[in-house]
Amino acid sequence: MQSKYTENEKAPLNSIEDWEDDLLVRYPEPKEKQAKAKEDYRNYHDSERVDTVREFYRLNHKYQTYDFVVDKENEFLKFEKKEMPFWDAVAYLNTLVDDSDPDINLDQLQHLLQTSEAIRADGHPDWFVLTGFIHDLGKVLCLFGEPQWAVVGDTFPVGCKHADAIVYPEFFSDNPDSNDERYNSKYGVYAPNCGLDQVKMSWGHDEYMYQMMKDYLPEPALYMIRYHSFYAQHRENAYDHLLNDHDREMFKWVEKFNPYDLYSKVPVPPDAKALRPYYEDLVAKYLPATLKF
Ligand SMILES: [Fe+2]
Ligand SMILES: [Fe+2]
């Protein structure tokens, strides 16, 4: 099938990690928390990255409409694409290499392990550790040929007005929903404080993985997976008017998770091989042996 998007439109970023590196610029780790040698954050090509990340958000904000999300949900939430044993899925995700910078690049598994090991080191419950380990597994969407802006990037509600607190809000002027009366008011298709479960989010790896995991993990873990890229809420509180009290309670977990996701890069990567038995047990405790993608 001919893609609707050009190659440049599908992959504006040199690497999908450029989105997360850019998050570190927007939300730097508080000074007092920065470790001495934690300067492994990629800072090369910074100005080039600014341009590609901007282009990435231009496309994301233009194309992530309410109808686009409905289409993607119909396409992917049937989970008919591929069936993989859990560890094959991890290996598969790891074929998503960052060709922009092979030297400093950490593979996807390293990001997952660094996140989960930082959570484990702080003594959190095992399901929290597991959440760190799987939170980005949904990025396999990239390997199914999906455009980068439909896999990663900040997520936001569709079906109501786009908050100014979303990064590059001006790009929403190209989104057809901005001129659609059904979708461009404060509440749009939603009722005040209806609860996020009623709210459609822009499509990406967060919602996809949440839907895959929803029967297996405790609710705080599911909130962390589902909303970890919803910076306009967990950092900016721009959608308080859609949250209900239960969401507010659960977002404490989303906020707890975020620093592990953003600030857990360490100079010496965890030893994936040595850690494997621990994670095999942990995965087996909560998840089915085979996952449907
Ligand atoms: Fe993520
Ligand atoms: Fe992540």
Ligand lying closest to the C-alpha of residue 230: 1
Q: pTM here?
A: 0.91
User: How close is the Cα of 229 to the center of ligand 1, in Å?
Assistant: 6
State the distance from the centre of ligand 1 to the C-alpha of 148, rounded, in angstroms.
12
Question: 144 by DSSP, 3-state: which?
Answer: helix
The predicted-structure confidence for 111-146, as pLDDT tens digits, reads as follows 999 999 999 999 999 999 999 999 999 999 999 999
Supply 260's token pair: 């592990």
Residue 152 has what pLDDT?
Answer: 96
User: What's the gap in Å between 206 CA and the centre of ligand 1?
Assistant: 6
Helix axes 245-263, 17-26, angle to 10 degrees: 100
Q: How far is residue 153's CA from residue 19's CA, in Å, rounded to a whole number? A: 6
Residue 105 has pLDDT above 60, yes or no: no
Ligand closest to 205 (CA) is: 1
Ligand nearest to the CA of 229: 1
Confidence at residue 104, expressed as pLDDT on a 0 to 100 scale: 46
